[in-house]
Chain A
Amino acid sequence: MSVSEDTQQLLTEIKRLREELAIKEKHLHDLQTEPCNCKYLENNDFTTDEIIRYSRQMIMPQVQIDGQARLKRGKILIIGAGGLGCPAALYLTSAGVGEITLVDYDEVELSNLHRQILHSENDINIPKVQSASDKLKNINNNVRVIPLKVHADSNTLSRIIQDDKYDVVLDCSDNVATRYLVNDVCVMNDIPLVSGSALQMEGQLTVYHHNSGPCYRCLFPVPPPPHTVTNCGDGGVLGPIPGVIGVLQALEALKILVQLPDVLSGRLLLFDGSTTTFRNIKLRPRNEKCEVCGVNPTITKLIDYEQFCGASAHDKVVNIDIITFAEQTDVKDFPQDLQNNIVIDVRPELEYKMCSLPGTFNFPYSLIIKDCDKVRKFVESKVQDGVTDIYFLCRRGNDSQRAMLYMKENINFEAVQYHNIKGGLHAYSKYIDPSFPVY
């Protein structure tokens, strides 16, 4: 039996065993949580086990049995089951919120695991909402967890909001278009929105549309130009950064449900992990001229948010095709002879240091367009050595096209042909050698 057949058989068996385990656990839970009418409890909303489980928060004067009952009646909608959604959902489930709906269209990838703490190695390629809800049910089966594997857009989200009455929404998404969408949905349905975001070493947190506070559009009426927005896939993020922000989103949601004062509305929390500092910025009040939450709103129905932002409502990179067909080289024709051909890898230096193909040269795209003298001299010397073909390479084959076009316009040698390795290192890993890491 080959290794892959072996792996496949094991995966299938593990899946079957998991399903069997889930059925038995559900059965056990049902037996253990049958209504007890316990004569010691004044409030029959809770079982003996629930009192024990939540006792550490219920004995706080801020929560008490009434606060816990509010949590149990509470319904929360979480948009995104990633770096923010995982820790947020974890604490909300543990705290005993009645119902938690998770919305995410994506599947678990290996590169998610350093920060998306509900997913494990065995969950690769399964829907994030499924993986997350399995773990959450294991932690607290009293909570009704509803996984919705769907892309949040104007149509799907209005249906989801109409189907249930949510007390709080958590924006744990990863892109600008979804942030405007979720904001407008919350304003139109009068639901407080706990909004968190994280990138690299920084996080932001605030609560929109709560107690007459401002909404996202009051602060940022115009979306930023797409090219100024960095996503986690390109900029990177250190796991505990969304961890901190996601946990604080859970805290604010619990405060709203329990009806505690001093919710983070009208204030913006800035977390800087590089210096481990928190700052609270006092925000403006609601903008009476706001297009969605103002006195005379002009946006009263959901719009096309991808069009509004000029960007897709996800954080995946959209591949470009800006050079001619003849200039594209299939990765299967990757040059073997690196004497007469040279390969220029245009990724940032730190990515090149992390992993690279032997015999290639690193000239980052950002440096090529800033100062092309270095690469010009390099190419000149290679041309003198008899090089006739120069191949451009990067992570996905996009920046390499940009670099190639720039070189064509600015550093053209008659004796040299420029080529782009189509699909970049992702394609190399897929078609040539899977041991090259896809990141």
Chain B
Amino acid sequence: MPVTVNILFFAQARELAGKSEAEFTIETPIAYSDLVKRIVDEFSLTELQDHLILALNSDWVWDQEILNLKPADEIAVIPPLSGG
């Protein structure tokens, strides 16, 4: 069943996606790897796909996890920031 969630982009993901947040409609339940793939394909983040943290409603998402998404869930896409 598809749900519409909110994707939040940080650091380089924000730059590549060209926005800081977006609504995204996606099937649920969904495996972590499929979720990453859908997001990086949709928002031109392929270069970052092995270098980011995903958080669902501010909680770390495990790479083996199957996620049950609800409408308006927040998924944060967080690559590391290294400047200082």
CB closest chain-B residue, reference A235: B83
What's the nearest-Cβ distance from chain B to residue A81, in Å? 10
Q: Is A175 an interface residue (CB 8 A)?
A: yes
User: Majority SS of interface residues in chain A?
Assistant: mixed
Residue in contact with B81 in the complex, picked from A198, A225, A284, CB distance below 8 Å? A198
Are A224 and B78 in contact, with the CB atoms below 8 A?
Answer: no
Number of interface residues of B (CB under 8 A): 25
Within 8 A of A (CB), among B27-84: 47-48, 50-51, 53, 55, 58-60, 62, 76, 78-84
Q: Which residues of B contact A315 (CB under 8 A)?
A: 83
Are A281 and B84 in contact, with the CB atoms below 8 A?
Answer: no
Within 8 A of B (CB), among A156-194: 172-176, 179
Are A281 and B78 in contact, with the CB atoms below 8 A?
Answer: yes
Q: Which residues of B contact A80 (CB under 8 A)?
A: 84
CB closest chain-A residue, reference B47: A228
Q: Is A219 an interface residue (CB 8 A)?
A: yes
Are A270 and B51 in contact, with the CB atoms below 8 A?
Answer: no
Q: Which residues of A contact B23 (CB under 8 A)?
A: none
For the complex, give the distance between the alpha carbons of A198 and B79 in Å. 13
Q: Which residues of A contact B25 (CB under 8 A)?
A: none
Residue in contact with A219 in the complex, picked from B14, B53, B58, CB distance below 8 Å? B53
Q: Is A203 an interface residue (CB 8 A)?
A: yes
What's the nearest-Cβ distance from chain A to residue B79, in Å? 7
What are 29 A-B pairs at a CB distance below 8 A? A82-B84, A174-B84, A176-B82, A179-B80, A197-B81, A198-B81, A198-B83, A199-B11, A202-B10, A203-B81, A204-B11, A219-B53, A220-B51, A220-B80, A223-B51, A224-B47, A225-B51, A228-B48, A229-B12, A230-B12, A230-B15, A231-B82, A232-B83, A270-B10, A272-B20, A280-B58, A281-B58, A282-B55, A315-B83
Q: Which residues of A contact B81 (CB under 8 A)?
A: 197-199, 202-204
What's the nearest-Cβ distance from chain A to residue B43, in Å? 14
Q: Which residues of A contact B53 (CB under 8 A)?
A: 219, 268, 281, 283
Interface footprint category on A: 35 or more
A197-B84, A220-B80, A223-B51 given. 7 additional CB < 8 A pairs? Answer: A80-B84, A197-B80, A197-B83, A199-B82, A199-B83, A229-B12, A274-B20
Q: Is A52 an interface residue (CB 8 A)?
A: no
Q: Mark A208-236, 1 if CB is under 8 A from B, else 0.
A: 00000000000110111101111110010
Q: Is A196 an interface residue (CB 8 A)?
A: yes
